[in-house]
């Protein structure tokens, strides 16, 4: 048999890859103040979702928004780290790359805020 499924998976290698990814999440949370803000917002939204009866569709939108913000923050951090190694001194091109990566986080967070408002505000209004 040929192709991607020709050899059985190496589960130890998969476990190592997973451990590397978890280390990356730890680095993200331990070094990035904005990631800690995202964590607080994530916990707050999950708490609100536990308190209010979010529908399955609500949860899908909220999860999509949260994952988008987390992915953007992680990629932004990775780009910044790589840029700092490639060009420790000031470089206008590196600055532009970092600004665009940070802008991606801002766009994702803004979209998450809108989604959060669309999901949560009707629940708050229904309480009155």
**pLDDT confidence of residue 4:** 63
Q: 93 in helix, strand or coil?
A: helix
**pLDDT confidence of residue 6:** 73
**pLDDT confidence of residue 97:** 97
10-residue mean pLDDT series, the chain (128 residues): 71 94 97 97 96 96 98 98 96 97 98 97 89
Element of type H or E holding 128: none
103 located within any domain = yes
Q: How many domains does the chain have?
A: 1
**pLDDT confidence of residue 18:** 94
Q: What is the CATH number of the domain that holds 44?
A: 1.10.287.3610
9 located within any domain = no
**pLDDT confidence of residue 84:** 96
Domain span at 117: 33-126
113 located within any domain = yes
Residue among 114, 78, 111 at smallest CA distance from 97: 78
58 located within any domain = yes
Task: Tell the burial category of 57 from Cβ atoms under 10 Å away from its Cβ (0-12, 13-18, 19+).
Answer: exposed
């Amino acid at each position: 048999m040929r192709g991607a499924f020709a050899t059985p998976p190496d589960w130890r290698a998969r476990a190592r890859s997973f451990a590397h990814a978890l280390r990356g999440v730890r680095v993200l949370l331990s070094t990035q103040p904005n990631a800690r803000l995202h964590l607080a917002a994530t916990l707050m939204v999950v708490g609100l979702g536990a308190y209010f009866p979010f529908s399955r569709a609500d949860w899908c939108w909220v999860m999509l928004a949260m994952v988008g913000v987390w992915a953007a923050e992680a990629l932004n951090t990775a780009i910044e780290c790589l840029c700092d190694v490639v060009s420790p001194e000031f470089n206008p091109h590196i600055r532009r790359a970092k600004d665009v990566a940070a802008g991606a986080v801002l766009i994702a967070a803004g979209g998450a805020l809108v989604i959060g408002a669309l999901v949560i505000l009707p629940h708050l209004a229904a309480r009155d």
